[in-house]
């Protein structure tokens, strides 16, 4: 058995044989048989499984997840409970669960959290390898955030990328028949739009999603990075200074100057209210528009993060599910993840998300939902350009510290407020050196 | 009384001569004042040890360790504190905590006192006004702060809408988009929320002031300000100091309001100890470092408490 330090001490095959005999449902062929039959194994009566996840921004996703969890429970004879909490509350719950060695058996991991909590997570090497063998290699960012010290600490679940949601009609008026491909083109259109009081919108406040999407993607796009591959702080480069200067310039030329006070939801409201012409966001703006503002949905398109001198990048941490090391039900937990990630189940769950999430392997680029609504195609493609906190270094604990201190975001925000670009980058260098010390 | 039969077969009542039952050892023990006091205090002591002393000692241990989530911590002495003092965001949070606490408490005291003096007069619907005063204090902080977030919104602020329509401003004010203004907004919301506590508590104090004293002062020619300064204030000073003490402790450790409104932004200009400690301990999983940030509060709070309690005792 691959679990290290887990409470399950039965040999897996012995366990499954015993479980099968006990329930009268002998499982022929072990795991390959289970996979082939698309059914989970049965477990002794009274076996429980508790799963903790975020409350998705797509309600149908939660409904489908709960339905699948119940289905697994019935098939496997396991009492499955699902707790959904606000994303911001996951960190304290995980910390207390690991420290007290009690709590959910499976917990959702967002971005590089497997690196933060690696010591409290069971290895899932066999399962991750099994999935990648079947569906193709995981996207690089999914793998980077899930593998710690050579071991898979989470089973990659998906990515929730953000692309540019934009008003196709307004962009057309400025001569842009598609979303600009480079930052220079983007700026030209942005200047024209802002002159007509149709600025683009970008948050630079303290919220984990949108501000970091700009800060990391633009820094990389201009060829800068907070650290190099070896983990040395290299933020103070002419490339980063150029990225900061560009941001200050477009702040005045193209962007809504309320962005310093924006959080992750402000741009959604502004876009749907028609006060901003484009913004970086997940597909949720489009979904809400389809439900409540169909006229806006009709003229909404999605565009890729523009290319800079350094290339095209997205800051995507991805999501995964980890089995907790303290769990006494690691075997059941692993079977649940195996069953959920299998194609028939995953396809349904991904379908319920309607394009909000992108599968963790290239196999899911073929999901029928992408054909249903071509406007969502950039989300599917964005994961190829996805990078993790700390890129090109490791998405380590230290990268988390830099992230939660909003060092890159504040570097841009301070420059916007008037600090010289060089000084803002120097400030960031000082803070990053402390975080990566 | 026991009944005994004598030769005449006539029942005669005689006094019960059996020795009285000796009290049990436990009863004997409880008769002793110091033992009984100990027994009665034990539950409180247990609660204090479990819920106050243990977390406090654990907090101190974490602050001097390199504890991260999932790993045992090692003793690192004062390293965490040294790191904090070299951290520009921490130093900003340090400064903000004091600005936030002192300005907010002073405003709450001034406005609370004003409201209490007004509410101490008789007027129609006095009870309804008094009860409604408490609403900001009763509503859960997160809920009321979310409402304020809307009112300070960069795009949809109702304040901007009013000011623009009245003609006072021509361009919107970014209430939470500038460090100084955002701190002002945080203080304003804290005052809005905490002022009723001051008002109601001080009102209770005002109602204990004997009106005869005011009458006497008035006869002696004291004006309203002199009566307030020389009569009312000295009499309600103990209750005022207690309410200031409680408020300072709560404001020093404030978290929810700031976390919901700004999360320490923009550019880390509104972090206080509570919000920064949370980010470091929970989001970066550095429990030791986070505890050391929180513990920076302790010496200041202790000083405030000792000083105020000393002052109250001295006044008594």
Tell me whether residues B262 and A206 touch, CB distance under 8 A.
Answer: yes
Tell me whether residues A413 and B265 touch, CB distance under 8 A.
Answer: yes
Q: What pLDDT sits at residue B18?
A: 61
Distance from CA of A256 to the nearest CA of B (A): 9
Distance from CA of B41 to the nearest CA of A (A): 30
pLDDT at residue A16 is higher than 50: no
- A372 shares contact with chain B (CB less than 8 Å): no
| Stretch among A25-34, A153-162, B70-79, B276-285 having the lowest mean pLDDT | A25-34
Q: Would you say A212 and A409 are in contact if contact means Cβ atoms under 8 Å apart?
A: yes
Segment A390-419 shows an average pLDDT of 95
Q: What pLDDT sits at residue B130?
A: 86
Tokens of B239: 């209750």
Distance from CA of A417 to the nearest CA of B (A): 8
pLDDT at residue A2 is higher than 80: no
Task: Give the single-character DSSP code of A159.
Answer: B
pLDDT at residue A23 is higher than 70: no
Tokens of A223: 């060829």
Distance from CA of B155 to the nearest CA of A (A): 7
Parts of chain B with a pLDDT under 70: 1-23, 315-316
Q: Across the interface, which of A261, A417, A434 has its CB nearest the CB of B154?
A: A261
Q: What pLDDT sits at residue B132?
A: 86
- A430 shares contact with chain B (CB less than 8 Å): yes
Give the CB-side neighbour count of residue A110, counting CA atoms within 13 A. 20
- A202 shares contact with chain B (CB less than 8 Å): no
- A73 shares contact with chain B (CB less than 8 Å): no
- A259 shares contact with chain B (CB less than 8 Å): yes
Enumerate the domain spans of chain B. Answer: 79-315
| Segment A82-127, tens digit of pLDDT | 999 999 899 999 999 999 999 999 999 999 999 999 999 999 999 9
Cα torsion through B134, B137, B142, B144, rounded to 10: 40
Q: What pLDDT sits at residue B155?
A: 87
pLDDT at residue A25 is higher than 70: no
Q: Where are the beta strands (DSSP E) in A46-146?
A: 48-54, 79-85, 106-110
pLDDT at residue A57 is higher than 80: yes
- Percentage of chain A with pLDDT > 90? 86
**CB < 8 Å to B172, chain A:** 258
- A434 shares contact with chain B (CB less than 8 Å): yes
Q: What pLDDT sits at residue A20?
A: 41
**How high is the mean pLDDT of chain A?**
91
Mutate to test the interface with B, among A261, A414, A432 (most CBs of B within 10 A): A261
Segment A50-70 shows an average pLDDT of 96
**CB < 8 Å to B285, chain A:** 91, 95, 116-117, 397, 400
**CB < 8 Å to B155, chain A:** 256, 258, 266, 269-270, 273, 275
Q: Give the closest residue to A185 by CA, choosing from A306, A280, A301, A276.
A: A306
Residue of B nearest to A412 (CA): B267
pLDDT at residue A317 is higher than 90: no
Q: Would you say A135 and A363 are in contact if contact means Cβ atoms under 8 Å apart?
A: yes
Tokens of A187: 């700026």
| Segment A324-349, tens digit of pLDDT | 999 999 999 999 999 999 999 999 99
CA dist A117 and B166 (Å) reads 54
Q: What pLDDT sits at residue A19?
A: 41
Q: What pLDDT sits at residue A8?
A: 39
Tell me whether residues A260 and B264 touch, CB distance under 8 A.
Answer: no
| Segment A132-147, tens digit of pLDDT | 999 999 999 999 999 9
Give the CB-side neighbour count of residue A5, counting CA atoms within 13 A. 11
Task: Give the single-character DSSP code of B23.
Answer: P
**CB < 8 Å to A116, chain B:** 69, 284-285
pLDDT at residue A204 is higher than 50: yes
Tell me the pLDDT band of A171, cut-offs 50, 70 and 90. Answer: very high
User: Which residues sit opposite B3 in a β-bridge?
Assistant: B13
ipTM greater than cut 0.95: no
pLDDT at residue A27 is higher than 50: no
Sheet holding A79-85, edge to edge: A79-85, A48-54, A106-110, A319-323, A155-158
Tell me whether residues B69 and A117 touch, CB distance under 8 A.
Answer: yes
Distance from CA of A92 to the nearest CA of B (A): 6
> Which fold is adopted by the domain B79-315?
MetI-like fold (1.10.3720)
Record the pTM.
Answer: 0.86
Tell me whether residues B267 and A427 touch, CB distance under 8 A.
Answer: no
Segment A151-177 shows an average pLDDT of 97
Residue of B nearest to A418 (CA): B178
Q: What pLDDT sits at residue B19?
A: 63
Q: Would you say B159 and A242 are in contact if contact means Cβ atoms under 8 Å apart?
A: no
Tell me whether residues B265 and A258 touch, CB distance under 8 A.
Answer: no
For chain A, domains (ranges, CATH) are: 12-158+319-359 (3.40.190.10), 163-316+384-435 (3.40.190.10)
**Residue B156 burial by CB count (10 A; 0-12/13-18/19+): exposed, middle or buried?**
middle
CA dist B178 and B185 (Å) reads 10
**CB < 8 Å to B280, chain A:** 401, 404-405
Q: Across the interface, which of B177, B265, B282 has its CB nearest the CB of A92?
A: B282
pLDDT at residue A33 is higher than 70: no
- Spatial neighbors of B218 by CB under 8 A, at least 6 apart, are B227
Tell me whether residues A120 and B69 touch, CB distance under 8 A.
Answer: yes
């Amino acid at each position: 058995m691959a679990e290290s330090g887990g409470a399950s001490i039965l040999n897996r095959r012995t366990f499954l044989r015993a479980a099968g005999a006990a329930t009268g449902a002998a499982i022929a062929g072990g795991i390959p048989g289970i996979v082939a039959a698309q059914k989970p194994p049965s477990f002794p009566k009274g076996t429980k499984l508790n799963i903790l996840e975020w409350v998705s921004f797509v309600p149908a996703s939660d409904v489908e997840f709960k339905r699948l969890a119940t289905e697994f429970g019935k098939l496997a004879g396991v009492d499955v409970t699902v707790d959904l909490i606000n994303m911001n509350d996951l960190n304290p719950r995980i910390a207390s669960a690991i420290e007290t060695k009690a709590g959910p058996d499976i917990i959702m991991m967002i971005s590089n959290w497997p690196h933060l909590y690696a010591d409290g997570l069971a290895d899932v090497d066999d399962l991750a390898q099994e999935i990648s063998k079947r569906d193709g290699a995981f996207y690089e960012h999914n793998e980077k955030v899930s593998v710690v010290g050579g071991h898979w600490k989470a089973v990659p679940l998906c990515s929730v990328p953000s692309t540019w949601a934009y008003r196709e009609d307004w962009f057309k008026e400025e001569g842009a028949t598609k979303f600009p491909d480079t930052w220079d083109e983007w700026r030209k259109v942005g200047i024209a739009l802002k002159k007509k009081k149709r600025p683009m919108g970008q948050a630079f406040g303290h919220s984990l999603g949108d501000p970091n999407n700009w800060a990391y993607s633009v820094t990389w796009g201009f060829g800068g990075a907070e650290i190099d591959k070896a983990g040395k702080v290299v933020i103070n480069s002419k490339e980063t200074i150029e990225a900061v200067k560009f941001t200050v310039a477009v702040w005045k030329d193209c962007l809504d100057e309320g962005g310093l006070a924006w959080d992750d939801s402000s741009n959604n409201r502004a876009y749907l209210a028609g006060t901003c012409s484009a913004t970086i966001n997940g597909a949720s703006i489009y979904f809400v528009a389809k439900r409540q503002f169909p006229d806006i949905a009709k003229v909404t398109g999605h565009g890729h993060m523009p290319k800079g001198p350094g290339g095209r990048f997205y800051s995507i941490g991805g999501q995964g599910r980890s089995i907790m090391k303290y769990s006494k039900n690691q075997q059941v937990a692993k079977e649940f993840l195996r069953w959920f990630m299998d194609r028939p189940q995953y396809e349904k769950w991904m379908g319920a998300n309607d394009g909000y999430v992108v599968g963790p392997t290239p196999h899911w680029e073929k999901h029928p939902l992408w054909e249903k609504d071509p406007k969502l195609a950039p989300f599917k493609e964005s994961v190829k350009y996805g990078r993790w906190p700390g890129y090109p270094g490791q998405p380590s604990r230290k990268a988390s510290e830099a992230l939660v201190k909003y060092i890159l975001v504040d570097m841009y925000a301070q420059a916007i407020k008037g600090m010289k670009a060089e000084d803002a980058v120097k400030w960031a260098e000082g803070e990053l050196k402390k975080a990566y010390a | 009384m026991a009944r005994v039969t004598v030769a005449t077969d006539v029942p005669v009542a005689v006094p019960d001569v059996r020795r009285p039952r000796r009290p049990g050892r436990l009863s004997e023990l409880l008769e002793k004042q110091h033992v009984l006091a100990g027994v009665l205090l034990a539950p409180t002591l247990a609660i204090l040890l479990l819920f106050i002393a243990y977390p406090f000692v654990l907090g101190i241990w974490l602050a001097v360790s390199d504890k991260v989530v999932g790993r045992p911590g090692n003793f690192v002495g004062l390293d965490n504190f040294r790191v904090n003092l070299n951290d520009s965001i921490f130093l900003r949070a340090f400064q903000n905590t004091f600005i936030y606490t002192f300005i907010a408490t002073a405003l709450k005291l001034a406005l609370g006192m004003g409201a209490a003096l007004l509410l101490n007069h008789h007027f129609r619907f006095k009870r309804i006004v008094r009860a409604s005063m408490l609403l900001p204090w009763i509503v859960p902080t997160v809920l009321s702060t979310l409402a304020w977030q809307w009112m300070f919104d960069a795009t949809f602020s109702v304040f901007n809408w009013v000011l623009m329509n009245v003609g006072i401003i021509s361009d919107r004010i970014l209430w939470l988009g500038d460090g100084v203004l955002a701190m002002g907004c945080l203080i304003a919301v804290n005052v809005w929320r905490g002022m009723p506590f001051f008002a109601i508590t001080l009102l209770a104090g005002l109602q204990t002031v004997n009106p005869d004293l005011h009458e006497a002062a008035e006869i002696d020619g004291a004006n309203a300000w002199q009566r307030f300064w020389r009569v009312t204030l000295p009499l309600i000073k103990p209750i005022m100091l207690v309410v200031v003490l409680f408020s300072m402790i709560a404001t020093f450790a404030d978290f929810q309001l700031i976390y919901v409104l700004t999360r320490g932004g923009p550019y880390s200009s509104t972090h206080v100890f509570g919000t920064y400690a949370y980010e470091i301990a929970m989001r970066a999983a550095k429990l030791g470092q986070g505890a050391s940030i929180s513990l920076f509060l302790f010496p200041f709070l202790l000083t405030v408490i000792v000083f105020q309690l000393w002052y109250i005792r001295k006044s008594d």
